[in-house]
Amino acid sequence: MNTNEVKALISALQNGIVNITFKKIITDEIRVMESSLNPDILRENGIGTILESISPNSDHIAVWCLDKGAWRSFRVNTVTGWEVVK
């Protein structure tokens, strides 16, 4: 993903819920992760708002994983696609 694609993904995560498809590094398993960085969704899950910005130049991104109810991260270069859920 190029920087503009990562910026778009971060923006979508901050605005709602996104399904991110990526390949797990150790197992090569394809994972679809329902994720968010939306402040309202984080508060609903007992998490305070993230104040620091997320760099589109980072090689990985941490997100709130809705199906696990926990923080998870993924490497940007393993993402094969993503779509906005709501």
Instruction: Give how many domains the chain has, as a whole number.
Output: 1
Is 21 in contact with 31 (CB distance < 8 Å)?
yes
Q: Would you call 61 helix, strand, or coil by DSSP?
A: strand
Note the pTM of the prediction, 2 decimals: 0.91
Q: What pLDDT, on a 0 to 100 scale, did the predictor assign at position 78?
A: 96
pLDDT confidence of residue 41: 93
Structural domain containing residue 54? 3-84
pLDDT in tens, the chain (86 residues): 899 999 999 999 999 999 999 999 999 999 999 999 999 999 999 987 666 678 889 899 999 999 999 999 999 999 999 999 97
Per-residue pLDDT, 51: 60
Beta sheet of 17-23, edge-to-edge order:
70-75, 60-65, 30-36, 17-23, 79-84
The CATH number given to whatever domain includes residue 13 is: 2.30.30
Q: Determine the Cα–Cα distance for residues 18 and 66; give it in Å rounded to an integer.
A: 10
pLDDT of residue 53: 78
What helix, strand, coil percent values describe the chain, rounded to 5?
A: 25, 35, 35
- Give the C-alpha separation, 23 to 69, whole Å: 20
Question: Number of C-alpha atoms within 13 angstroms, CB side, residue 40?
Answer: 4
